[in-house]
A and B are shown apart, each in its own frame.
Chain A
């Protein structure tokens, strides 16, 4: 999946003012030192306590009795590095929040002060009120050119709406009372006509408000996996507190108390500070990535759930196929030239403005048939009707070109004294069997051949479904088509399974059946009748163009209304978890090398022979301890880009990925710090700092 390309559309907002973002993040790093807020992150809180202890020692070296062989300078150096560790952690979080806030500001700018024209039950205007005071259930009238003051459902009228403030899409959309396109969003602008709305959101609870709150992280709740990870990190921290605290009595028993600053340094080096520092930044950045991809997730939980999805339920129309059928082939009757069929089909479709009609014109032109842009004057267009099931064009000279369903056309041809040949019928049957729709073409009473209309599967879908399969995600296509057509499209698109002749309630049944087998289900939808299924699904991606009910029921809204984006959302969800897991593994694996740096340094005064454990040959006990905690501090900012961007994710089987990531972050996490700590030690020695 190409997650890297996702920022293309919305990235400009965050990049708006890089240096201001930095300044603010640096400032916030200090503000976040407040222990009252920091205590929520137990790992970093322990580091802060360590900072405080070493700070006291720097001022008052004999606080815990005479420390052997180390001076105030050492205490102070440890204190500074620990402080930096906390600040780096705070910075990571502040930076991630800042990027979210930049997006929120961009959104907030679109929310201009509005007024609303309140109307009564009978449609009589009651007066002007501020847009911010509107309550759910009130009805208002909006006129062309005005900004729509709040989220609502159109109850009367139809108009074109500019939704670019929310979606970034400049082409206006048509919204009208009744049906699936009746919801409008506050902050968008009505371009034409007058509409009456019923407000659907309380003040501060509009779609825009919620979006702002979400990106700012104000409403950010920890996701289940994040809570679990936090518990594990707190547990590991507690274990290492016990390990370090019990070390002092052991040393005392051996007659050589350990310097408190060294013990503090050991504790901070052992507890999982790297992941503790980056955990919340990873979560915020994950939500941010989803939003940059122009999908609004209503919670972090939804994004995580997306990463867990086992089954994707996809509507055929709009998701797998481009909404309409397209002409792909002209099949002539026996003895008729192919160009003659194309010519007749083109003329029969000149007045047909449906996508199917236009695709016939385009195909004929592609085959070299000349055609005017519009029906010649005096020609009579016969529009399609459900009764006749055909359409056509009668030229002023009486020539009639027509096309339509095969049996309807057979009746027409026979009425004009012609006959539909068996070869035409056979060709039509073959097309139907292949999942296409045959349209018979005639000039007057002469049946000329058949047009093959086909569902066009979106380009590149088969490859994406392959990728999903590699991730272990099953795709199920849902369509109202007959099983034959459905099977053909399913085969072409490469979905794993399909449900044909599906009614809306079938989706619900399908989701429940999948869930009963312990699978997590994701689906997309836009209609009101999709709402229950969207709510039932573990991940419900509603289209922004859809009804308010659908948007309310889903736990994500796609601002571009492109259902196939569900696939990328799954990738982002997985990436979020992988980033967390990888940095956790890295953080814990680092402990091995830190032990080998700090323990010999601490213990060699007690038992010189333990200096043999100094396998990195670090210069002095002091430089060893300092190198380890400097590495521990520096690795945080070094990994901020990884936290922001997310770990690389390629579609592959789980075990394969486990091995790959364990090699990278587990084994790498054991080995890298050996090299890094040695390098820092050499640098400290070269600078005569140790």
Chain B
């Protein structure tokens, strides 16, 4: 029954993504769209205030610089707020001073849409820190991500010098997508039972006669954008496993839908945008963008569902080692799980939060069965199973470029993506973008495991220790933010190293992709003939999956073998550590 429910949720997501994708296309193409009458005057006012001319195009360099110039002050402001929260208002619970490594880690993590949390929110953050530093970034960074991918897509249409105006795209992402959706989302979550208050923690006297402090705060406001923006930074340390963040199965389903729909919708936005740019050309009738979007959606959805089934199946199997040792059959695995969500929805949440780089958790990932935890890890290592807002699609397109290149050669043609030639410059940049991710995961993991500063944070020995550390860096590099939680990451070493991995993982790979965009934008799309290797076909889609698995996943096979795979085999062999 749970499985049927989980699939229904996936169907709802898929159905909602298409119209949402089309709506976003209209918004970013400046075409008449729902809500124009309210939003247009507001936008016009904001543009006048900000001195932005939305029609002024930016080259790829200007566009990317604008990203940096917008994000840098935001990160600094957040850092300052975090460091000075004791002197600022809205601190009813008198939260203390935040040390610089943690403040750096948190600012980096939230500005990069990662939302890795090395702290527990209810014990560290004032309400002002939560709202002005963190929730603020939870709105602005997904808007940055959406704008980044929108700019990139403009390079794939006709030959162009400019990729649009970043500030305009950014503002539209905020006013037309994130704010309205978050507003509605918060109300829906409120209705589902999520609290929202500025009152400080409640102090209650329990029936046993003891006193208990119950943390609370503006939770619903944060919760909606936490999911919609694939942010994942929770109000409470327990994140979406906390009954205030995620009280019941309904809120759980709503949160899964909120985190998953926008990244998929962007795939359809991409299709519409490419087609719109080719209107009036000889290629218009091919609807190449829409077809390409369908193929990307179809094959990625297949990978997503396959991973979900692995997680679900593995969790259902429970822990045979415990069975043989204790003589009790403990299946499905319930350790660290919230009973109120059920196995299937928990597995789907685990799957989607790592696939969509949200990073919210509604269960203890450290307690997942090895293969389930390993699959969650793999999804972050691939970082292209839809992925986070904007950057996920950029990663997909990066792997598409690599696939196009190899398969283009295999049919005897200089490879083209949507008619744009993939030559040495494009391959150089895509290769750089592809290199960054595994290096960012593997190198610090290796360092952390041989130095005392790294190993002293481990709560588990041997294989699971490896899983914990590699999970942390994979989460940081993928800008996911979920944690295996076994690792004590609030140390200067982990705060600084993870913070750096987060920043490099976001900005350096996007820089490479933007250089790629500049290069692609300058090309005239080639004519489509019978000899053209069409990338908008299912055959190409499956080859893409093959490349994603072999190039994207095989890189991590050794570390997975020493982590989750080794754990799984040990568990089935009844081994203990």
Q: Which of A247, A254, A654 is B462 in contact with, Cβ under 8 Å?
A: A254
- Cα A240 to Cα B462 in complex, Å, equals 24
Name the interface residues of A638-672: CB closer than 8 Å to any CB of B.
649, 653-655, 657-659, 661-662, 665-666
Contacts of B45 in A (CB 8 A): none
- Cα A238 to Cα B562 in complex, Å, equals 21
Nearest-CB residue, chain A, relative to B422:
A228
Q: Which of B438, B445, B546 is A666 in contact with, Cβ under 8 Å?
A: B546
Contacts of B462 in A (CB 8 A): 254
Q: Does B408 contact A (CB under 8 A)?
A: yes
Contact across chains for A250 and B559 when beta carbons are under 8 A apart: yes
Q: Does B237 contact A (CB under 8 A)?
A: no
Nearest-CB residue, chain B, relative to A515:
B524
Interface of B is mostly: helix
Name the interface residues of A238-254: CB closer than 8 Å to any CB of B.
238-240, 242-254
Q: Does B529 contact A (CB under 8 A)?
A: yes
- Cα A578 to Cα B447 in complex, Å, equals 42
Contacts of B449 in A (CB 8 A): 249-250, 252-253
Q: Which of A247, A252, A662 is B559 in contact with, Cβ under 8 Å?
A: A247
Nearest-CB residue, chain B, relative to A236:
B551
- Which stretch (B52-60, B258-266, B424-432) binds chain A? B424-432
Nearest-CB residue, chain B, relative to A472:
B531
Name the interface residues of B416-474: CB closer than 8 Å to any CB of A.
419, 422-424, 426-428, 431-432, 434-435, 438-439, 442-443, 445-447, 449-450, 455, 462-463, 465-466
Q: Which of B402, B407, B426, B566 is A662 in contact with, Cβ under 8 Å?
A: B407
Contacts of B409 in A (CB 8 A): 225, 229, 577-578, 580-582, 584
Q: Does B412 contact A (CB under 8 A)?
A: yes
Q: Does A687 contact B (CB under 8 A)?
A: no
Contacts of A242 in B (CB 8 A): 438-439, 442-443
Name the interface residues of B150-173: CB closer than 8 Å to any CB of A.
none
Contacts of A248 in B (CB 8 A): 446
Q: Does A607 contact B (CB under 8 A)?
A: yes
- Cα A87 to Cα B558 in complex, Å, equals 29
Given contacts A474-B529, A581-B406, are A592 and B439 in contact (CB under 8 A)?
A: no
Contact with B along A585-629 (1 / 0, CB 8 A): 100110110010001000100110110110000000000000000
Contacts of A250 in B (CB 8 A): 445-446, 449, 466, 558-559, 562
Q: Which of B424, B531, B562 is A473 in contact with, Cβ under 8 Å?
A: B531
- Cα A96 to Cα B446 in complex, Å, equals 43
Given A242-B439, A254-B463, A578-B410: 20 more A-B contacts, CB < 8 Å:
A225-B414, A228-B405, A232-B402, A238-B435, A247-B559, A249-B447, A249-B450, A310-B529, A471-B531, A472-B531, A577-B408, A577-B413, A578-B411, A578-B412, A581-B409, A595-B557, A599-B557, A654-B532, A658-B411, A658-B540
Q: Does B8 contact A (CB under 8 A)?
A: no
Q: Which of A239, A582, A609, A613 is B435 in contact with, Cβ under 8 Å?
A: A239
- Cα A98 to Cα B445 in complex, Å, equals 48
Interface of A is mostly: helix
Question: Nearest Cβ in chain A — how far from B240, in angstroms?
Answer: 31
- Cα A607 to Cα B461 in complex, Å, equals 14
Q: Which of B410, B419, B562, B573 is A603 in contact with, Cβ under 8 Å?
A: B562
Given contacts A310-B531, A603-B561, are A253 and B455 in contact (CB under 8 A)?
A: yes
Contact with B along A404-439 (1 / 0, CB 8 A): 000000000000000000000000000000000000
- Cα A657 to Cα B530 in complex, Å, equals 11
Q: Does B534 contact A (CB under 8 A)?
A: yes
CB pairs A–B below 8 angstroms (26 shown): A228-B428, A229-B409, A231-B427, A234-B431, A236-B551, A243-B442, A246-B442, A249-B447, A250-B466, A254-B466, A307-B414, A472-B532, A518-B527, A577-B409, A577-B413, A578-B410, A580-B409, A584-B409, A591-B554, A592-B554, A595-B557, A595-B558, A599-B557, A603-B562, A610-B565, A655-B540
- Cα A337 to Cα B451 in complex, Å, equals 108
Contacts of B282 in A (CB 8 A): 517
Contact across chains for B446 and A246 when beta carbons are under 8 A apart: yes
Q: Which 10 A-B pairs have the closest CB atoms?
A: A472-B531, A581-B409, A574-B412, A235-B431, A472-B530, A472-B529, A581-B410, A246-B446, A228-B424, A249-B446
Binding site for B on A (CB under 8 A): 224-225, 227-229, 231-232, 234-236, 238-240, 242-254, 266, 304, 307-308, 310, 469-474, 516-520, 573-578, 580-582, 584-585, 588-589, 591-592, 595, 599, 603, 606-607, 609-610, 612-613, 649, 653-655, 657-659, 661-662, 665-666
- Cα A580 to Cα B415 in complex, Å, equals 13
Binding site for A on B (CB under 8 A): 282, 402, 405-414, 419, 422-424, 426-428, 431-432, 434-435, 438-439, 442-443, 445-447, 449-450, 455, 462-463, 465-466, 524-527, 529-534, 537, 539-540, 543, 546, 550-551, 554-559, 561-562, 565-566, 569-570, 573, 575
Contact across chains for B526 and A518 when beta carbons are under 8 A apart: yes
Nearest-CB residue, chain A, relative to B402:
A232
Using a Cβ cutoff of 8 Å, how many contacts connect chains A and B?
A: 219
- Cα A242 to Cα B462 in complex, Å, equals 22
Contacts of A247 in B (CB 8 A): 446, 558-559, 562
- Cα A517 to Cα B278 in complex, Å, equals 13
Nearest-CB residue, chain B, relative to A657:
B411
- Cα A581 to Cα B566 in complex, Å, equals 35
Given contacts A243-B442, A472-B529, A653-B530, are A252 and B450 in contact (CB under 8 A)?
A: yes
Question: Nearest Cβ in chain A — how far from B484, in angstroms?
Answer: 16
Given contacts A253-B450, A658-B539, are A471 and B554 in contact (CB under 8 A)?
A: no
Contacts of B550 in A (CB 8 A): 588-589, 591-592
Contact across chains for A224 and B566 when beta carbons are under 8 A apart: no
Q: Which of A231, A246, A658 is B410 in contact with, Cβ under 8 Å?
A: A658
Contact across chains for A239 and B555 when beta carbons are under 8 A apart: yes
Question: Nearest Cβ in chain B — how far from A607, in angstroms?
Answer: 5
Nearest-CB residue, chain A, relative to B529:
A472
Given contacts A588-B550, A655-B534, are A254 and B562 in contact (CB under 8 A)?
A: yes
Nearest-CB residue, chain B, relative to A670:
B550
Contacts of A225 in B (CB 8 A): 409, 414, 423-424
- Cα A245 to Cα B445 in complex, Å, equals 12
Contact across chains for B450 and A659 when beta carbons are under 8 A apart: no
Contacts of A576 in B (CB 8 A): 412
Contacts of A243 in B (CB 8 A): 438, 442, 555-556, 558-559
- Cα A574 to Cα B455 in complex, Å, equals 54
Contacts of A655 in B (CB 8 A): 533-534, 537, 539-540
Contacts of B439 in A (CB 8 A): 239, 242
Contacts of A662 in B (CB 8 A): 407, 410, 543, 546
Contact across chains for A518 and B419 when beta carbons are under 8 A apart: yes
- Cα A610 to Cα B543 in complex, Å, equals 30
Question: Nearest Cβ in chain B — how far from A248, in angstroms?
Answer: 8
Contact across chains for B431 and A581 when beta carbons are under 8 A apart: no
Nearest-CB residue, chain B, relative to A226:
B424
Question: Nearest Cβ in chain A — how far from B268, in angstroms?
Answer: 23
- Cα A519 to Cα B532 in complex, Å, equals 11
- Cα A343 to Cα B376 in complex, Å, equals 91
Contacts of A249 in B (CB 8 A): 446-447, 449-450
- Cα A612 to Cα B568 in complex, Å, equals 11
Given contacts A232-B431, A239-B555, A662-B543, are A308 and B413 in contact (CB under 8 A)?
A: yes
Nearest-CB residue, chain A, relative to B562:
A250
Q: Which of A234, A308, A609, A659 is B575 in contact with, Cβ under 8 Å?
A: A609
- Cα A518 to Cα B466 in complex, Å, equals 51
- Cα A514 to Cα B101 in complex, Å, equals 60
Contacts of A606 in B (CB 8 A): 562
Nearest-CB residue, chain A, relative to B412:
A574
Q: Which of B410, B431, B466 is A582 in contact with, Cβ under 8 Å?
A: B410
Contact across chains for A609 and B531 when beta carbons are under 8 A apart: no
Contact across chains for A304 and B410 when beta carbons are under 8 A apart: no
- Cα A588 to Cα B552 in complex, Å, equals 12
Nearest-CB residue, chain A, relative to B444:
A246
Contact across chains for B561 and A613 when beta carbons are under 8 A apart: yes
Nearest-CB residue, chain A, relative to B425:
A228
Given contacts A581-B408, A662-B546, are A610 and B569 in contact (CB under 8 A)?
A: yes
